[in-house]
Chains A and B, each alone.
Chain A
Amino acid sequence: MSAPLLSSAAATLARPRSIAPLLEVANLRIAFGRQEAVQGVSFTLHEGETLALVGESGSGKSLTALSTLDLLPDGAAISGGTIAFAGADLAGLAPAARRALRGGDIGMIFQEPMTSLNPVMTIGQQIIEALRQHQRLSRRAARTRALELLDLVRIADPHRRIEDYPHQLSGGMRQRVMIAMAVAAGPRLLIADEPTTALDVTIQAQVLELIDRLRRDLSMAVLLITHDLGVVGQWADRVVVMYAGRTVEEGDPAALFARPLHPYTQGLLAASPRLEDSHHYTSGPLVEIPGSIASASGQPGCAFAPRCPQAAAACRIAPPPLRQWAAGRQVACPRVLPEDLP
C-alpha cells in the first residue's frame, strides 16, 4: 500500500474500538402505504465483522439495508422500530446529518454495476465526486486520491482507466469502481446489496475477496446481503435468515449449516446443490420448498406456515417471536422453541 493509504488505514485503526454494536436494528418495520413489507427485523452488527442477510427475493432484505441510508423507494417508509448507528438513533437525526452518513460513515454498493454508474461521466469524475463530497480536497489532490483508490481495488493501469467511461469497463471492474466510491471516505460500515449476483462466477470470488480484504485493512464492518448460501458460508461471521419480511433464524454460519433449526433454513439448505459427499448431483432430484413466497400481510401466524412441513395449529395463530436457542443462535419457530419455554 502506498504511504497515504497506510496513513488513512492507520487513522481508522486509531478510532476507539468499542464493544458497543455499530449498527443496531430493532423491530424494524417498513411499509408501502398500508402493506407491510418488513415486519419486525432485528439484528446487531459489530465493528470489523461481516454479517450476512440471507433470504430469497421478496424477503425484505434489500429494503432493510436501504432504510439505514434513507434510500427507500418512493412509497416506502419505516413504519416501526429503530435503527441505531454508532449509538445514535437515525430517525432522530436531522436530514443533513443523515445525508452526511451516506458515502461518509456508511458506504453502499449495489447489485447492477452497469446501470449503477452514470454513463456520461468518466469513472474518475464519479470517484472524485464522492471524495470531494466528504473531504475538502483540491481537484488535483482528489485526482491523486482517486488513483490510489483505483489501485486499492486492484484495477490495473489506473492512470488510463480513470478517464474511461463505464461502458468501456467489464462488469467486474465496474463493481470495483463502485467499491472504490463507497470506501472513498473511509466508512465504518459497508453495505453490499447482492454485490456479485450480476457478475460471472469467476469474478464473484475476486470481488468478495476484495471486500473482505478492505474490511480488514480499513477496519470496516460489512453488511452483506445475498441469496447465495455459498457466499454466506465463505465470507460471513454471522448470518441472519429472513423470510417474508421477518427474521427467522440467526447464528454462526458453520453452526447454522451443520444444524439448521428453522424449517425454512432447512429447506434452503436442502434445496441448494452442493458438491459435498452426502449430496452428490447423482443422489436424486433437488429438494424444493413447495409453494411460493406468500403475501407478507394477511397471515395471522407464521409467514412460512403455508409451506412448512412441520406447521402445526399453533403456528397459524400468531407470528412466532425470535428467541435465543443457544449462545449466538436465535430462531423464530415454535416447533423448535416451544412458547412456554423460559
Chain B
Amino acid sequence: MKRHLPRLARIAGNTALRALPTAVGIVILGFFLLQLAPGDAADVWAGEAGGAPAQATAAMRHHFGLDRPLGAQLAAYLSGLAHGDLGWSARFDVPVTHLILERLPGSLLLSATALVVALVAGVVLGTLMAAHEGRLLDRALSVVALLLYSLPSFWIALMLIVVFSIRLGWLPSGGAHTIGLPESGLAGLADRLRYMVLPVLSLALFYVAIYARLVRVGVIEAKAQDYVRTARAKGLSERRILVRHVLRNALLPLTTVAGMHVGAMLGGAVVVETIYGWPGLGRLAFEAVMGRDFRVLLGILLLSSLLVILANALVDILHGVLDPRVGASHAA
C-alpha cells in the first residue's frame, strides 16, 4: 500500500484543485439566488410580527444590513460562511447552521444506506443477468430493471406504504423510531431498522436498476477480455475467475457512477423524507419551502453541494485505490 501513496496523494491534490473553483462558484451563485428570493429577512420579520408599517420594515432592513451595496453584502455573506454562519431561520427561530447540522445525520444515514443497498443489489442482479446473458433470466430481470427505472420514487413510496403498512401492517409508515422505546441497544437498533426499510427501498430501487444494467454490461465485456482467457489457461476455476478477474475489473466504472449519484440521492431524499416524515435535510427543505424560509433552503443547497464535492473527492481516491493505472506518472 505504501508505494501507492504518492499516486493517491497526486489524485487527491488534483481533485482538491478542481473542486476549489467549483465550490467558490456555487457559493457566489448561492448569494445571487438569495438576492433573487422574493422578500428578504425584513419582510419575513414583518410577516411574523403580524404586519408592520413600512417605516419599521425599512428600519429592520437597515438593521439587518440589507440596504447596503451588493458588494458589501457579498463580503458579509462570504465572511459569514467562512465562520460557518449560514444566517438565521425566521421560521424556526434558530441559526440555520444549527438546524442543518441537527438534521444532517438523518439524511446521511438514509442516503448512505440506500446507496449501499442499491450497489449490493445491483451487483448481484447484474452478475446474475450477465451469467445468463441472452437467456430467460436475463431477459426477465432486464424487464424488471426497466420497470424499476421508470417508477417515480415518491409514488413507489406511497404504494409501499399501502402494501406493507396499511394492508400487511408489517412496517411502519413514518418516523424514525417508536416513541417510548429505548433508543439504544439491540432492541433500539432493530426498531430503527424497521423504520428504515421502506424509506431506503423507496430511494434505492431506482438506482438498483442503473447499477444492475451497468454491472451486466461490465461483466459481459470483462468476460470477453484476453486476461480472462489467460486465467482460464492457468487452470483457474470459473468462480475464482469471476471474483478475482472479472468482477474486479467490471466494477470499476461503478465507483465513478455511484459518486455521481450522491447529489441525486440527496435530491430524491427530499420527497422520500417528506412522505415518511424522516428527520433529515430533505424534510427540512420541504418545511422551509412551505414556510417561505429561503435562508434555510439556501443553507441546504450549499451544504448538499459541499457533500457532493466531498463524495466526488472520495470516489476519485477510491478509484485510484482500485485501479492502479489511474494517476500513474508514466513509468517504464
Interface residues, chain A, with chain B CB atoms under 8 Å away: 69, 71, 99-104, 107-108, 110, 112, 115-121, 129-130, 133-134, 163-165, 167-170, 178, 181-182
B142 at interface, CB cutoff 8 A: no
Which chain B residues lie closer than 8 Å to A103 at the CB level? 233-236
Interface mask (B297-332 → A, CB under 8 Å = 1, otherwise 0): 000000000000000000000000011110010011
Q: Is the CB of A129 within 8 A of B235?
A: no
Give the residue of B234, B252, B332 whose beta carbon is less than 8 angstroms from that of A130.
B234
B121 to chain A, nearest CB (A): 24
The interface residues of chain A lying within 8 Å CB-to-CB of B226 are 110, 112, 115-116
A168→B328 CA distance, assembly (Å): 9
12 new A-B contacts, CB < 8 A, other than A118-B230, A120-B325, are A69-B233, A71-B232, A100-B235, A110-B226, A110-B233, A112-B226, A118-B248, A119-B249, A121-B245, A168-B331, A178-B230, A182-B233
Q: Give CA–CA (A330, B243) in the complex, Å.
A: 47
A103 to B233, CA, bound (A): 6
Kindly state whether residue B237 has any CB partner on chain A within 8 Å: yes
Cβ–Cβ < 8 Å partners of A167 in chain B? 324-325, 328
CA gap between A69 and B248 in the complex, in Å: 25
Bound-state Cα–Cα, A133 to B225, Å: 21
Query: Which of chain A's residues have a CB closer than 8 A to the CB of B324?
Result: 119-120, 165, 167
5 nearest A-B pairs in the assembled complex, by CB-CB distance: A103-B235, A102-B235, A103-B234, A115-B226, A118-B227
Q: A112-B226, A118-B249 are in contact. Are A133 and B328 (CB under 8 A)?
A: no
Q: What's the minimum C-beta distance from A171 to chain B, rounded to whole angstroms?
A: 11
24 A–B contacts, CB within 8 A, in A order:
A99-B237, A102-B233, A103-B236, A110-B226, A110-B229, A116-B226, A116-B229, A118-B230, A119-B227, A119-B323, A120-B248, A120-B249, A120-B323, A120-B325, A121-B244, A121-B245, A129-B234, A134-B235, A164-B332, A167-B325, A168-B332, A169-B332, A170-B332, A181-B230
Assess the A181–B227 pair: CB atoms within 8 A: no
Interface centre among B230, B232, B331 (most CB of A within 10 A): B230
Q: Which residues in B have their C-beta under 8 angstroms from that of A115?
A: 225-227
Q: How far is the CB of B133 from chain A (nearest CB, A)?
A: 10
Q: B residues within 8 Å of A by Cβ?
A: 3, 225-227, 229-237, 244-245, 248-249, 252, 322-325, 328, 331-332
What is the bound-complex CA distance between A164 and B323, given in angstroms? Answer: 13
Given the interface pairs A110-B226, A170-B332, the reply to whether A102 lies near B232 with Cβ below 8 Å is: yes
Is the CB–CB distance between B231 and A118 below 8 Å?
Answer: yes
Q: Give the docked Cα–Cα distance between A212 and B231 (Å).
A: 24
Q: Across the two chains, which residue of chain A brings its CB closest to B133? A: A74
Tell me whether A129 and B244 are in contact in the complex, defined as CB-CB below 8 angstroms, given that A102-B234, A102-B235 are known contacts.
yes
Q: Pick the contact of B235 from A116, A133, A168 — CB < 8 Å? A: A133
Nearest B residue to A178 via CB reads B230
Instruction: State the CA gap A181–B236 with chains docked (Å).
Output: 12
Q: Are B236 and A133 in contact (CB under 8 A)?
A: yes
CA–CA, A163 and B234, complex, Å = 20
Asked whether, in the complex, the Cβ of B229 is within 8 Å of the Cβ of A71, the reply is: yes
What residues of B have a CB within 8 angstroms of the CB of A181 in the complex? 230, 234
A328 to chain B, nearest CB (A): 31
